[in-house]
Amino acid sequence: MSNKQLDYDIIIIGGGLVGAGLACALGGLNANGNKLRIAIIEAIPFRDAAQPSYDDRNIALSQASYRIFSTLGLWPDIIKAATPIESIYISNRGHFGAARLHAKNHGVDALGYVAQTRAIGEAFKQRLQNLDNVELICPAKIIGLNITDELANILIEQDGKNKTLSCSLVVGADGAKSKTRELLGIATQTHDHGQTAIVANVTPEKSHNNAAYERFTDSGPLAFLPMSEQRCALVYTVWHNEVEEILNLDDNAFLARLSERFGDRLGRLIKVGKRGSYPLALNKAEKTLAKRAVLIGNAAHSLHPVAGQGFNLGVRDIAVLAETINDALSKNNDIGNETSLKTFQQWRQSDQQRIIGFTETLVSVFINPLASVKLMRNIALVGVDLLPPIKNLLARQTMGIAGKQPRLARGIPLN
Ligand SMILES: Cc1cc2nc3c(=O)[nH]c(=O)nc-3n(C[C@H](O)[C@H](O)[C@H](O)COP(=O)(O)OP(=O)(O)OC[C@H]3O[C@@H](n4cnc5c(N)ncnc54)[C@H](O)[C@@H]3O)c2cc1C
């Protein structure tokens, strides 16, 4: 149900990958025959160098994300700059265990895709420019929040002035340090992994053949993801105290260090592009729901990138929240209604817990120095490789298709 007395039906705080993605999913929905009125409050413009969501990073998109973006009609724009992952090799540096996943063994053309965050953002931006019911308020920041039974009032700061905007539902998609979460008084559990991810594009001597490589080393995981022009997107996890030294190495010394960790499965590493670094920690909101408010994406859960699951989890938040809102609208219910928001939370909880558990287990087991744990993980990798049911489970987890799937992931549009 749309309330015409309010400025908007929904205000999304944060126009990063998840906030903008949600606006794309909601843009076509109607309330009583009228389009939903949506605002995005974003602190940093799209092309600004300080924009944290749309940068040079290349991230892995899962099968589920591909399906959701396809149903939303966004995929043709995303695929222009994406590379399919046809196989994944998981190995443990200096040990015998290894596991392999191949798309064709799991009935799909690709286990996932690699795309630059800026290119995904470009696809969202194009869509949003064609939606006259979505307003982007940028640069602007949320600074206050007052929620009653009837509405949410959001205090924003724009051009040095404060302004209050009202809506039925506020969605916090403002990242790991979410101000919305803080204003809602929701606590977070944080686990600093003591690690930083160094990212760069690397060109190896041999063709990657659309394979992704995940290699566990003593300092943490190392991923090579396939990209265009035979380049690989590197995610190299190191301990915090090693970062400065590694970032300061010249290109040849950096590639030599990398080869020593990664081995020679792609031949010699020839070239490396600009390096960037991201300190890693698990942040998990103690709840993702408050009166007339929900948290999604990194505001609800930010993960170690080891399994490439963070944004993919956020995409499934988007799909389930859009479906929940659509269901409330079709029953002429208030979209900020607690019952429908609880449906969203309950549905998302199991997927979020499963992926956080899976990611944290990988991080802790694969960097544990104890010999007994090392032996167990080698046995586990061999087990995954040899036992089809375990392999299928790992593949379904990686592809994001374990558990109850939202309509958008099943190819069914919302309206
Ligand atoms: C090295 C690395 C590799 C990764 N690889 C993968 C991968 O392979 N696959 C994958 O699925 N995920 C990956 N991720 C995770 C993925 O990048 C994040 O999950 C995703 O960016 C989360 O998007 P978000 O929109 O929730 O948050 P963010 O990207 O943090 O966006 C939040 C937005 O909110 C805005 N904002 C913040 N505060 C305010 C405020 N007060 N008012 C208004 N706006 C505000 C910010 O400017 C920003 O635009 C990786 C992450 C890292 C660091």
More confident residue, 195 or 180: 180
* Integer angstrom CA distances of residue 300 from 120, 180, 350, 356: 21, 11, 14, 11
Tell me the pLDDT tens digit for each residue of 389-406: 656 666 777 777 778 899
Residue type, 11: I
Alpha carbons 83 and 261: distance in angstroms, whole number:
24
Alpha carbons 382 and 366: distance in angstroms, whole number:
14
Reported as a pLDDT band with limits 50, 70 and 90, residue 30 is confident
* Integer angstrom CA distances of residue 65 from 188, 316, 328: 26, 7, 24
pTM value?
0.93
> Are 119 and 78 spatial neighbours (Cβ–Cβ below 8 Å)?
yes
The residue whose C-alpha atom lies closest to atom 40 belonging to ligand 1 is: 141
Domain 194-280: which CATH class?
A: alpha beta
Q: How distant is the alpha carbon of residue 334 from its chain centre?
A: 29
Domain with CATH 3.30.9.10 in the chain: 194-280
Tell me the pLDDT tens digit for each residue of 54-92: 998 999 999 999 999 999 999 999 999 899 999 988 887
Does residue 370 carry a pLDDT above 70?
Answer: no
Cβ–ligand 1 contact at 15 (below 6 Å): yes
Q: What is the structure's pLDDT at 105?
A: 87
SS3 string, 56-96, reads: CCEEEEEHHHHHHHHHCCCHHHHHCCEEEECEEEEEECCCC
Q: How many CA atoms lie within 13 A of 319 on its CB side?
A: 30
Looking at domain 10-190+281-410, does it have CATH number 1.20.1440.20?
no
What spacing in Å lies between the alpha carbon of 235 and ligand 1's midpoint?
16
- Mutation to probe ligand 1, out of 59, 88, 284 (largest number of atoms < 8 A from CB): 59
Q: How distant is the alpha carbon of residue 171 from its chain centre?
A: 16
Tell me the pLDDT tens digit for each residue of 280-311: 989 999 999 999 999 999 999 999 887 888 99
- Mutation to probe ligand 1, out of 55, 113, 298 (largest number of atoms < 8 A from CB): 298
CA angle 88, 93, 97 (to 5 degrees): 65
What spacing in Å lies between the alpha carbon of 17 and ligand 1's midpoint?
6
Alpha carbons 249 and 30: distance in angstroms, whole number:
55
Q: What is the structure's pLDDT at 400?
A: 78
Cβ–ligand 1 contact at 39 (below 6 Å): no
Domain with CATH 3.50.50.60 in the chain: 10-190+281-410
Mean pLDDT (the chain, rounded): 90
Spatial CB neighbours of 215, under 8 Å, sequence gap ≥ 6? 90, 91, 92, 93, 221, 222, 223, 224, 261, 262, 263
- Mutation to probe ligand 1, out of 11, 12, 13, 17 (largest number of atoms < 8 A from CB): 17
Q: Which helix (H) or strand (E) holds 98?
A: strand 98-102
Q: How many CA atoms lie within 13 A of 271 on its CB side?
A: 9
| Ligand 1 atom nearest 178 alpha carbon | 38
